[in-house]
Amino acid sequence: HSELNENKKYSLRSSIWKCFEGKWKMIFHQGTLMPKQ
């Protein structure tokens, strides 16, 4: 579906959320991790 493709593109272009050690962290497309806040 086009909508799914658009969502994937948006996710890739923007920050990507990943679950690490049971906690959600924001991972930038550059591959850097955000510090805990």
Calculate the CA dihedral of residues 15, 17, 20, 23 and round it to 10 degrees: 120
Angle at 34 between CA 32 and CA 37, to 5 degrees: 170
pLDDT digits (tens, 9 = 90+) for 18-27: 666 777 666 6
Q: How confident is the model at residue 36 (pLDDT cuts 50, 70, 90)?
A: low
Enumerate the β-bridge partners of residue 25. 18
pLDDT digits (tens, 9 = 90+) for 2-17: 676 666 655 555 566 6
- What the block records as the tokens of 17 is 């959320």
